[in-house]
Structure formats: structure tokens, C-alpha cells
Structure 1
Amino acid sequence: MRIVLVGPPGAGKGTQAAFLAKNLSIPHISTGDLFRANISQGTELGKQAKAFMDAGNLVPDEVTIGMAQDRMAQPDAENGFLLDGFPRNVSQAEALDEALKADGQKLDAVLDLEVPEDEVVKRIAGRRICRNDSSHVFHVTYSQPKQEGVCDVCGGELYQRGDDKEETVRKRLDVYHRETEPIIDHYKAQGLVVTISALGKVDEVTKRAMAALAGENA
């Protein structure tokens, strides 16, 4: 299957993408991984992206699209892929349509993870990260440490990242509504969008997504 995963920040796209890709035996292709791989490998596209990033500018769509096309052309993506974080806007979606069409391919589904805005803010603003190891993540509501402000794993100080503060989260949501959300209408016109609730436990959402992709009632 060839799938695009969409949803607001805090919808759990990265987590669901990993589980869905494993269940479907297709590669999980995320924008962040594409950038890191191309930059670390010193590819021409990676060099272009790094130059823009170093200058504090956004990487142009054509560079991002080029990276995605190269990755989708790899042997492990022959039978499908799951795109996470790409396309990010309508122009990228249109470019993806053209690229797939040129290869005689098409998307099978666009999975839209739906989460109420207040829940997104609660999820992200409640996160607390360990200063010693950023992989140690807690939450003031959903995954509380035994001692407030102290990491259960190593005893390090827990803190709230600047981009997790409520004001910043709401700005990120504004960007999502303005730039990315319109791709849902773009794909609805093609009959590709499958919308599911991303509320609940991770495995519940995964089962819901698998059922929806299979055409069953989610």
C-alpha cells in the first residue's frame, strides 16, 4: 500500500507510522529522516537543504520533493510506503501526484488522524523531558514521574521544552491549519481520505487505522 499519514502536531503520527509500517511490511518515510539521511550522506540534495537550513531559511519544496522521490524509488519501497510529514502543503501534494503518475503508481489511501485541538495542546504542553537523556519522556497527566520534576530512570531534572509551551503549540496548530490541512480536501476530491479518531491507547488507534485501511468500519 502507498499511504500518506496526516494529522495535527500531537496526533501521534510518528508512533502510529512506525506500527502501521511494521504491520503492513512497508517502509516508514518521514521528512525528518529524509533530511538527516541526505545531509549525513552528503548527497547533492542534502547539501542544498543544509545550505538553506544553515542560513535559517525554509528548505524549498523542490528539494524536499526530490528527497522523497529518491527514497520512494528505493527497492524496499517497491511494494509501497508510508509517508509521514510529506506532503506538507498542496503544492507538495500535487508534485507527489505527478511523480507517482509518471511511475505508473498512485496512492491507495490518505489516513487522517483526528484529534480535538484542546487534546493536542494537553498532550504536547504536558510533556516533560529529562535533561540528561531526551528519550526519557514523561507527562503531567498521562505518564507522571514518581517524584515531580525528577526522571524515574536516571534522577535527572525534568523540564518543558520551549516548543512544547501552550502558546507555541497553538502557533504550530495555526501553521498546520493554514498550510497542511488543505491537503485533506485535495485528497478528498480523489476519494482517498480515511479519517479515524486518534484518541485512546496507541494499540487501539493502530487497530482502528488498520481496520479503516482495510475498508472496515473503524
Structure 2
Amino acid sequence: MFSNVDNMMVMGKSGSGKQPRADVLIRRFGLKQLSTGDIFRHYLGLFNAFGYEGDLNRFYDTAADDFIPDENIKEQLAITGTPDADAIVLGLKAKYYVEQGLFVPDRITNALFESAFRAMNFKGAVLDGFPRTEEQARFLTELLKREGVRLDAILLVENEDELIINRTMGRRICKSCGELFHMEFRPPPDERKNECLKKCNIVQRSDDNVESLKKRLAEFREKTLPAIEYLKSAGIPFYAVPGNLPDYSPERVENSVLEIMGIEPVTG
């Protein structure tokens, strides 16, 4: 079972415990995490590095409710023919919505995802954060079929809302390297023994508050549950794993994942 794996996916509510389970798949199958958050940061970073400081509204056709053609954007930015032209245009489109605090449409998210996935030759990924809507799920299944690759398994991390809120409020992140900690389950190491912590502060993410968490949980019910049902109907194998373990440890997390997937757990 699970020989010659193409791709896998981790799904679940925000704060349910997806990352430790994704880490199991990465270690066990030699995969690389493909996170929607990282994708957005990458393309926004490319556009920001390009250095354009003008009004982004000039690239949006309000009458058509869409961006002007990509080639016109490239001409106006004077990047036609440059190696990163397509990526810069994608970054511009993402920034247009982010700057205005608007929901990024599925068509833009799909384009960003496909571009990043293509860079991996559509193989060797643990998908994280995509798809979040049924339309994105449909796009993904069509993309996999077109490229002749599989999604071998989906790990669905299950957790109760109340437990997620309590757990997430203890989450912390290193501003320098991005490593995640938890004040109860994985406390930050002593800064006197860790070079990274000497250079930065361990902080709580700005969106790790009760109001934001409740919004994200509601969005999961409204948008992501239909995506899960669609992927199930497409015949992709699902494995539901508990996000909350009575006795938490990296070994217990790994063994709980492997056991549910029918893989011999790690011993010793």
C-alpha cells in the first residue's frame, strides 16, 4: 500500500493540528509541503521585489469585472519576455485583492496554486490549504486528470471547535524563521540556548484571537465541507485522524496517522 505515491493532502479546520500530521507524511513518503499561505507569500514577494509603486486599479477593468489581459499588464510593467513575467503578474493580482481586504476569487487562487504545483511537476507534494472551496476542489480534480497524476490520500484532521480555540490561543511563532511553538505542548526553547531566539521575538500571530478563530471555523463549515464532500465523491481515499490526543508526543502523532492509514507504526 502507498508505493510510488504521487501526492497527498492534509485537510481540517484552522488550528485542528494539521501541521504535525503533514510532517508525518513528509517524513514517511519523502514529500514536500505545498501550502497555500506559502504560495501567496511567494508570489506577493516576487511582485513586491519588482518594485512597482503605482495604482493597481489601472490593471483592473471594472466594466468586465476582471483584470486586463496579461500581455497588456506585462507591457505596462515593461516585463514582456522576462523569466518571471507570469509570476509577477500573478503576484500583482493577488496583491490587488489583499491590499483592499477582499476575498481572493477562486480563479486567482487556482492560478497561483497551479503555477506553484507546476514548478513541482505536479508530483511529490503534501497539499495544505488547497482546496478550500468546492470550485477549487473541482479545479484540482480536473488538473490532476489533465496532468495524469494522482492524489493518493487525504488526511482529514478532526477536532472540536472549543478545543481548537483553547489550543490555538497558546500557539506562538518565531518572527525570524517561522517555526511554530505552543506554550503547553511545545514551548519555545530557552533563548540563551537558541541562536534564532536571540535575534527575534516569539510572538502570537495577530489572527490568533477568538473572534478571528470563530470566523475561520465558520468559513470551514460553509466553504470547505462542500469541498471535502466533492473530493469524497470523486473517490479519493480519506483517512480521518484525531487532532487531539490525550497524551501528546511526536511519536504518538506519527503512530496514530500510520495506524489509521494501515501502515506499520514506528516502534522503539
Bin the TM-score by the shorter chain.
0.7 to 0.9
Deviations 1:72-97 (A, max 9, x none): 222x4554311000001111000001
Structure 1 residue 13: Cα displacement: 1.6
CA distance 1:189–1:70, change in 2 (3 Å): same
What per-residue deviation string (whole Å, max 9, x for no partner) do you get for residues 136-191 of structure 1?
A: 8442x44578xxxxx95379998755532333322221111111122222222233
Query: Kindly tell me: are residues 77 and 54 of structure 1, through their superposed partners in 2, closer, same or farther at Cα, counting changes over 3 Å?
Result: same
How far apart in 2 are the matches of 1:3 and 1:46? 26
- 1:29 aligned onto 2:34: yes
Asked if structure 2 preserves the Cα contact closer than 8 Å seen for 1:184 and 1:193, the reply is no
- Residue 113 of structure 2, aligned match among 41, 46, 68: 68
Contact 1:26 1:81 in 2 (8 A): yes
Deviates more, 1:201-210 or 1:178-187: 201-210
Could you tell me which of 186, 205, 208 is aligned with 1:164?
Answer: 208
Unpaired runs of at least 5, structure 2: 48-86, 192-196
Aligned mate of 2:9, from 4, 17, 20: 4
Query: Following the alignment from structure 1 to structure 2, what is the Cα–Cα distance between the partners of residues 104 and 128?
Result: 40
User: What is residue 122 of structure 1 aligned with on the other side?
Assistant: 166
CA contact (8 A) 1:97 1:106 kept: no
Paired residue total? 210
Match status 1:54 vs 2:99: yes
Larger Rg: 2
Report the Cα distance in structure 1 between the residues aligned to 2:104 and 2:141, rounded to whole angstroms.
Answer: 20
Off by >6 Å, runs of 4+ in structure 1: 129-134, 154-159
- How far apart, CA to CA, are the structure 1 residues paired with 2:174 and 2:118? 38
- CA contact 1:112–1:196 (8 Å) conserved in 2: yes
What residue identity is the alignment partner of 2:12?
A: G
* SS of corresponding position for 1:34: helix
Identity of aligned residues (%): 30
SS in 2 for 1:29: strand
Counterpart check, 1:91 vs 2:139: no
Counterparts of residues 192-203 of structure 1 (less than 5 Å) = 192-200=237-245, 201-203=249-251
Unaligned runs of 5+ in 1: 146-150
2:222 partner amino acid: R
8 A contact 1:9–1:173 mirrored in 2: yes
Going from structure 1 to structure 2, the CA distance change for 1:116 and 1:135 (only over 3 Å counts) comes to: same
TM-score (norm 2): 0.66
